[in-house]
Amino acid sequence: MVLCRCGVEASFSISWTDKNPGRKFRGCTNYKDPSRYCKFFMWLDPPLPSEDYKNLMYQMHFALVGMADGNAQLEQVNVDQNRRLMLMMKLMFIMVMLFAVMLVTGTVLLVKL
Ligand SMILES: [Zn+2]
């Protein structure tokens, strides 16, 4: 447990800035409140080895985040298409039933004539 200068446990987080992508750190939980913020901040892992590594981590993270968003949107589209298909099937069924009823009544009328 890491305490910040306010005496509370410093929160754990992972940085996704372009300068420090994927680096774990602990910081003061009061950082949103300037009057209480003690400016406590501590990296938990060593600095990133190179600029290339930083860029790779940064790009990989946003590629993965983007992919997750894309998948979610794709699933939504599939659900919409399935709903439309079900509606079409129902309409088709109603049309067929109406046609069948018309055919039967028509036949009955013809027989009567
Ligand atoms: Zn603090």
- How far is the centre of ligand 1, averaged over its atoms, from the C-alpha of 4 (Å)? 5
How far is Cα 54 from Cα 4, in angstroms, rounded to an integer? 28
Does residue 65 register a pLDDT over 70?
yes
71 or 10, greater pLDDT: 10
- How far is the centre of ligand 1, averaged over its atoms, from the C-alpha of 58 (Å)? 28
Does residue 54 register a pLDDT over 80?
yes
pLDDT digits (tens, 9 = 90+) for 33-47: 989 999 999 999 998
How far is Cα 80 from Cα 90, in angstroms, rounded to an integer? 15
- How far is the centre of ligand 1, averaged over its atoms, from the C-alpha of 13 (Å)? 15
At residue 113, the pLDDT reads: 66
**CA-based radius of gyration for the chain:** 32
- How far is the centre of ligand 1, averaged over its atoms, from the C-alpha of 42 (Å)? 12
**Token pair 């602990």: residue:** 26
Does residue 70 register a pLDDT over 90?
no
How far is Cα 21 from Cα 1, in angstroms, rounded to an integer? 24
Q: What average pLDDT does this structure show over 51-62?
A: 88
- How far is the centre of ligand 1, averaged over its atoms, from the C-alpha of 14 (Å)? 18
